[in-house]
Amino acid sequence: MSDQTAMYPGQVEPAAADLELATRRLMAALDALESAVERRREADRDEDELATRIQALGADRSRLADELDGSLMKSRKLERANREIAERLDVAIGSIRSVLNGSAAVVAAASAIAVAPAEPARVEQADDDADDEDEDAEDEDSEAEDAEDEDAEDEDAEDEDAEE
């Protein structure tokens, strides 16, 4: 090397130039490798974040599925209760209708008075019918009282005869 340096004092040795070029290429390769490693670490962090997100989504899905199952059960119970209540209401409505139909004569008379006051003959007839029913009921009550009074008098008379 010193032979060449002495012969060509102004020139840098070709081996040194090759060495410097190789060093520059090595530094560039190391920089590229370092960048690749950093990108890989970032990709791994992204994968970890993605896995965490997927796990959280899976947990949310399970929780929501449980809530949905609970809501479906509650909905079914409410539907069942609704049907039972509707059936009970139908029975109650039927009972009320039968009671109302049984007292239709009284209701008809009252509705005739309330609905058609402009028809005096009809109202008077309904009033007369109601009065007749009241009188019949009073007559029956007085007859029953008279019969009871007669029975009581007969018993008193028998008691007096028995004492004498």
| pLDDT for res 73 | 97
Evaluate if pTM is beyond 0.75: no
| pLDDT for res 34 | 95
- The owner of tokens 């012969």 is 7
Q: What is the DSSP string of 47-81?
A: HHHHHHHHHHHHHHHHHHHHHHHHHHHHHHHHHHH
| pLDDT for res 123 | 46
Cα 48–chain centre separation: 40
Give me the tens of pLDDT residue by residue for the chain, a chain 164 residues long.
Answer: 445 445 555 555 778 889 999 999 999 999 999 999 999 999 888 888 989 999 999 999 999 999 999 999 999 999 999 999 999 999 999 999 999 888 765 556 556 565 544 444 444 554 555 556 556 555 555 565 666 666 656 665 555 555 54
Q: Nearest to residue 109, comparing CAs of 86, 94, 128?
A: 128
| pLDDT for res 17 | 87
Sign of CA dihedral 137, 138, 141, 142: negative
The span from the CA of 106 to the CA of 44, in Å, is 90
| Token digits of residue 53 | 């997100």
The span from the CA of 127 to the CA of 116, in Å, is 13
